[in-house]
Amino acid sequence: MPVLVQPNRAPRRRVKICGLKTPEDIAVVARSGAVYAGLVFFPKSPRNIDIPTARALALEAPVGLAKVALLVNPDDALLDAVTAEVPLDMLQLHGSETPERLSEIRARTGLPVMKALGVADAGDLSAIADYEEVADQLLIDAKPPKEAPLPGGNGLSFDWRLLEGRAWKRPWMLAGGLTPENVAEAIRLTGAQQVDVSSGVESAPGVKDPDRILAFVQSALAV
């Protein structure tokens, strides 16, 4: 069993575990030393949950564990429904939202917004600058294949060396194919101070593995 991070120690690096579905998921993430808990609102995902379930999970989260809603091209009706019922700390936008739409969502909800941006090669990095002025955080993820049904959570990675030495105006988080076995290497290559994982800590699609969550956080914070 991996060693738990002591709760009174503020880790320099911040970890997000995404796609939580059960109270047990919330409990292990809270114990692990992660600081973000991701709740997915996307019907095509095996991690999708409905609004009542998300509300119950968010209310289970202890103080200090930030609740992040993952949404894909949400319309105003969905935004209003989610934010009215679920106590959230941040929205993660994982679709094709424009910078203008990000600004609208920030203004409408009053919540910080993290924008996910897919990277497959160096040419994809230029688009990140378009969001620096409007997003509160950036999520640098692996770009999914064109035929992929999910915008993220596919277990794919990209060449982390593309991010070496790069900096942006906003805090950023690394995602895409991270696992307990490779997260330390990814951090060393990119300098990431924040990392995000979903499928890499699962025993089956949408089923979180407590031991892998604990191992992931331990590996990320030990670098």
- pLDDT by residue (tens digit) across 107-164? 999 999 999 999 988 888 988 989 999 999 999 998 865 565 555 554 567 889 889 8
Q: Is residue 5 part of a domain?
A: no
Assess whether 196 carries a catalytic annotation: no
Residues of the chain predicted below pLDDT 70? 1-11, 144-156
- Domain count for the chain, please give it: 1
Please report, for the domain that includes residue 214, its CATH number.
3.20.20.70
Q: Which residue has the tokens 């956080």?
A: 217
Q: Are 26 and 53 in contact (CB under 8 A)?
A: no
**Radius of gyration of the chain, Cα coordinates, nearest whole angstrom:** 16
Q: What is the pLDDT of residue 89?
A: 98
Q: Which domain holds residue 37?
A: 14-222
Assess if residue 6 is contained within a domain.
Answer: no
- Report if residue 74 sits inside a domain: yes
pLDDT for 91: 98
Strand partners, 60: none
Does some domain include residue 9?
A: no
- Give the SS3 label for residue 22: coil
Model pLDDT, residue 150: 54
The model carries a pTM of 0.89
Catalytic residue, chosen from 18, 136, 159, 196, is 18
Cα dihedral: 87, 64, 110, 20 (round 10): -50
Query: Among this protein's residues, is 18 annotated catalytic?
Result: yes
Catalytic member of 76, 80, 141, 196 = 141
Neighbours of 22 (CB within 10 A): 15
Is 77 a domain residue? yes
Task: Give a yes or no: residue 2 inside a domain.
Answer: no
Note the pLDDT of residue 120. 87
Kindly state whether residue 116 falls inside one of the protein's structural domains.
yes
